[in-house]
Structure 1
Amino acid sequence: MESQIIRPGHLAAHQTAQQLGIALDGVRQLVRRGRLKRSGGSPRQPWYAVADVAALAAERRAANAA
């Protein structure tokens, strides 16, 4: 299998999970619920925009602090 080079400003699914402190399945659930949008890659190896992940991480931190 050929590895994909991720465009600048994007994260792979495993990097997204790490940034959010969740498992890969949690990332899939966020996509299914419309809370996170894929911004490239392939169906099996999606990418997510860094800005979207950062915004979601900040939102999760604020919710946990409340």
Structure 2
Amino acid sequence: MSEYVLPPVGTLTTSLAALAAGVQPATIRDWVRRGLLTRCGGSPGRPLYRVKDVQAARTAAKPTRPGQRPVQVA
């Protein structure tokens, strides 16, 4: 089954959120797991995120671990 043809206005699918933030879809899922981004709807297999929340997560300070590469901000 494919993703939404067009998500509701003001929301993004995981793929679109990744594209908007300039990251991979796995990074979006990681931000959710770490509490930097919250789902606003959709289904468990096809979550939706608010555009403003994706942009906030993109610019949020990310915690680092010892030995982790420095974050390059574009």
| TM beyond 0.5 | yes
How big is the alpha-carbon RMSD for the aligned residues of Structure 1 and Structure 2?
2.3
Aligned to 1:49: 50
1:18 is aligned to 2:19 = yes
Give the secondary structure class of the aligned counterpart of 1:19.
Answer: helix
**Contact 1:19-1:57 within 8 A present in 2 as well:** no
Moved more, 4-13 or 14-23: 4-13
1:64 is aligned to 2:73 = yes
In the TM superposition, residue 37 of structure 1 has moved relative to its aligned partner by 0.3
Question: Which structure 2 segments of 5+ residues have no match?
Answer: 62-71
Q: How many aligned residue pairs are there?
A: 63
Greater relative contact order (Cα < 8 A, sep 6+): 1
Greater share of residues in helix: 1
Identity across matched positions, percent: 37
**Contact 1:41-1:47 within 8 A present in 2 as well:** yes
TM normalised by structure 2 equals 0.69
Aligned to 1:34: 35
